[in-house]
Amino acid sequence: MFLFQVVEESLCPRGLCVACTDVAINAFEFRVLVRNSRRMWSNCLNGLDGVTEFNDTPHSFYTIMRNDLSVLAANEFSGDSKSLVNRLSKKRAVVVEKKPRTARTGPNCDCTDCGKSFLSPYYLNVHLKNSGQKEACVTCGTVVFRGLEMKEHLQKVHGEKVHLCPDCPTLFTDENQLKTHAKMAHRPGALTCGDCGRTFSRTASFEVHSQMHAVRTCRACGAQFTNRGCYREHRSKCEPDAKPDIRLVPRSRRSNIRDPATFICDHCGKIYHSRPQLKNHIVWIHMDVRPHQCQWCGKRFYTPTRLAEHSVVHTRERNFGCDICGAKLVSKMAAVYHRRRHTGEKPYECDECGEKFISSSRRSEHAKRRHGRGVRMQCMECPANFVRSHELRKHIDKTHKIHDAQFMVDVKG
């Protein structure tokens, strides 16, 4: 005698096994499918019964049906099958209402920022599209600031009454359009640019667009532009050799050619040559975001690389060697600085006195001590100030008799 263990289905009545449950579910789904198919064919036959009788010639009529096979329309047709297929493909195409085309005619006008000339205000507005500040009047070509100034210009000069959105510089000729725009573009969670009024469906697209309004600074003369088109036009005249000739670059590398730009921090004025560098500077230095924490001492760092360099203080691993004397160092930069002591290389020069140093940190300390530049660390108990944090801690322990556990000094550099 063989005994078989029956596995019951927990979601079904007691006594039903898994196999029986699957058979019952499949039978039920098949019954629903048959019922839906019968209803759809019934709709199709009822719709065809109401169609007007046509003659019996081949391809004399064709029908258009919905997804549920109900007849939408019936039309006569005479011709070959190829023509019928072409006609049906055109019928299936979704008709999209085209927006009224913006007038591209008007007086010649120039950009007030870069001086570039255009045939009409339409093309000037295309040039200023990425600018969050200025736009051209489509009637006279006058360049004014978006929003309130453009509204006043249209009312005073051209007698046009427009409605301004209170949350972005978008103008509307009808108050109902303004209400619809405010309901869709400025609802909670909507990704609408407050500088130009464009709305985006994805967060990534919105973040990329917001970078378009960043201020760009010319490296040659220091002129600043809020519009990318104006910046490029100015750079082509101010420093024409900055961007290499695309014809001399291999075709596989042409997509990587970029016009060098300068990005300045609004908080401290530090200059960077890429937007990610400026973003990291603001997040790490001014916002003091340090997501990587040491598991031994709890100290936090900006990047995992800095954390790995700090970890050797606890592990004492020396994986970087000097190719001159063979000494082992704990980090790559420590090996670089060590080698410079052998070669005598000092690439960092002080702007004030011309003295040279092996690292930028040594130059910064020199500028603080000798020339009074930068921020020094102030003692909270007395007027004394110091360049390095360990000097401040030593001063507190020796002079004020306060230990680190009792007195925490927040140092931000």
What string of H, E and C letters represents the secondary structure of 116-151? CEECCHHHHHHHCCCCCCEEECCCCCCEEECCHHHH
Let me know if residue 147 belongs to a domain. yes
Work out the pLDDT band at 132, boundaries 50, 70, 90. Answer: low
**Nearest to 299, CA basis, from 265, 402, 309:** 309
Point out the domain boundary residue: 201, 228, 255: 228
Is 122 found in the same domain as 70? no
Give the mean pLDDT of 34-55.
70
Count CB neighbours of 205 within 10 A. Answer: 12
Q: How far apart are CA 272 and CA 285, in angstroms?
A: 14
Q: Is residue 148 part of a domain?
A: yes
Q: Is pTM beyond 0.85 here? A: no
pLDDT average, residue stretch 302-322? 81
Q: Averaged over 95-104, what is the pLDDT?
A: 59
Q: Which of 228, 246, 268 is the last residue of a domain?
A: 228
Asked if residue 389 is part of any domain, the answer here is no
**Position 205 in a domain:** yes
Residue 79 has a pLDDT of 59
Residue 92 predicted with pLDDT over 60: no
pLDDT value of residue 153: 92
| CA 321 – CA 243 distance, rounded (Å) | 40
Among 53-57, 67-71, 388-392, top mean pLDDT goes to 388-392
* Average pLDDT, integer, range 179-190: 87
DSSP state of 328: E
Dist. CA 76–CA 53, nearest whole Å: 10
Same domain for 153 and 204?
yes
Residue 215: name the closest of 192, 243, 244, 195 by CA: 195
53 and 143 co-located in one domain: no
State whether 143 and 83 are in the same domain.
Answer: no
How does residue 1 score in pLDDT terms, banded at 50, 70 and 90? very low
54 has pLDDT over 80:
no
The C-alpha atoms of residue 333 and residue 316 are separated, in whole angstroms, by 16
Mean pLDDT of all residues in 356-383: 83
369 is a domain residue: no
The average pLDDT across 303-312 equals 81
When computed from its CA atoms, the radius of gyration of the chain, rounded to whole angstroms, is: 36
pLDDT beyond 50 at 374: yes
268 part of a folded domain: no
Cα 249 to chain centroid distance, Å, stands at 28
- Segment 231-260 mean pLDDT: 70
Higher pLDDT, 48 or 133: 133
The whole-number pLDDT of residue 147 equals: 87
Q: Are residue 46 and residue 115 in the same domain, yes or no? A: no
Residue 412: what pLDDT? Answer: 41
- Counting Cα atoms < 13 Å in the Cβ hemisphere of 40 gives 11
Domain assignment present for residue 238? The answer is no
Rounded CA-CA distance 50/178 in Å is 46
Residues 52, 122, single domain; the answer is no
Residues 126 and 199 both lie in one domain: yes
Residue where one domain finishes, among candidates 228, 250, 273: 228
Q: Bigger pLDDT: 74 or 315?
A: 315
Mean pLDDT score of the chain: 76
Range of the domain at 84: 18-92
The total number of structural domains that make up the chain: 2
Asked whether residue 129 falls in the same domain as residue 170, the answer is: yes
Residue 346 pLDDT > 80 = yes
Residue 410 scores a pLDDT above 50: no
* 22 and 58 share one domain: yes
pLDDT at 2 (0 to 100): 47
176 and 72 inside one domain: no
Q: CB of 237 within 8 A of CB of 113?
A: no
- Model pLDDT, residue 396: 86
Is 44 in the same domain as 133? no
Q: Are residues 114 and 224 in the same domain?
A: yes
CA-based nearest residue to 372, from 393, 391, 350, 389: 350
Q: How far apart are CA 282 and CA 277, in angstroms?
A: 9
Cβ-based burial of 132 (10 A; exposed 0-12, middle 13-18, buried ≥19): buried
pLDDT in tens, 273-302: 777 788 888 888 888 888 888 888 888 888
The answer to whether 131 and 123 are in contact (CB under 8 A) is: no
Distance between CA 18 and CA 13 in Å, rounded?
11
Q: What is the pLDDT of residue 40?
A: 79
Higher pLDDT, 280 or 257: 280
Question: 165 lies in a domain?
Answer: yes
- Residues facing residue 64 across a β-bridge: 73
What phi and psi, each to the nearest 5 degrees, are found at residue 172? Answer: -135, 145
